Amino acid sequence: MTKLHNGTWVVIADGEKALFLHNLTDGADPHLEVFREEEQDNPKDIDQSANRPGRMPDTGQGQRSALDDTDWHELAKDRFAADLADILYMQAHKGQFDHLVICAPPKTLGELRDQMHQEVSEKVIGEVPKTLTNHPVTEIEEIIKNDLAA
């Protein structure tokens, strides 16, 4: 017996893309259908950086140390998790779902958990700490069914 109910929302996310699916059947034989996609344009950090990292004087004559530059790619991933949390909050507030399963890589899952409103958190019935964004829906159904089996 799984926790997956008819109408449960399943969100498959990574730092750049999110798929919203809903279960049309039950947990024993889930049938998920994609009803929304969110994606952000997030080029590699090197493509987003303005120039090379800065340098500062170091102790010792003529020595200079490089400064760490901002990782714009990672910042955009974190921002995407916050945006996703906002979308989930708006939909939960409208009563669009009662149960939610979130599938995301551990780092994204943690960021999403930090950003999630309590109204959404209370509806989470399961988490799958895996990257599933490029898997076919039939594989996602099987993975979720196995991971949520009680």
Q: Classify burial at 100, counting beta carbons within 10 Å of its beta carbon; exposed 0-12, middle 13-18, buried 19 or more.
A: buried
pLDDT digits (tens, 9 = 90+) for 7-16: 999 999 988 8
> How many C-beta atoms surround the C-beta of residue 150 within 10 A?
7
| More reliable by pLDDT, 9 or 28 | 9
The predicted structure's pLDDT at residue 43:
47
Please tell me whether residue 86 adopts helix, strand or coil conformation: helix
Q: What is the C-alpha separation between 92 and 134, in angstroms, rounded?
A: 26
Q: Classify burial at 12, counting beta carbons within 10 Å of its beta carbon; exposed 0-12, middle 13-18, buried 19 or more.
A: buried
The predicted structure's pLDDT at residue 69:
60
CA 54 to chain centre: 32
Q: What is the C-alpha separation between 34 and 137, in angstroms, rounded?
A: 8
The predicted structure's pLDDT at residue 96:
96
Element at 19 (helix H, strand E) = strand 17-23
pLDDT digits (tens, 9 = 90+) for 56-87: 566 666 666 655 566 666 777 778 889 999 99
In the chain, domain spans: 9-40+71-147
Q: What is the C-alpha separation between 48 and 124, in angstroms, rounded?
A: 35
Global pTM value: 0.79
pLDDT digits (tens, 9 = 90+) for 111-149: 999 999 999 999 999 999 999 999 999 999 999 989 887
How would CATH label the architecture of 9-40+71-147? 2-Layer Sandwich (3.30)
The predicted structure's pLDDT at residue 78:
74
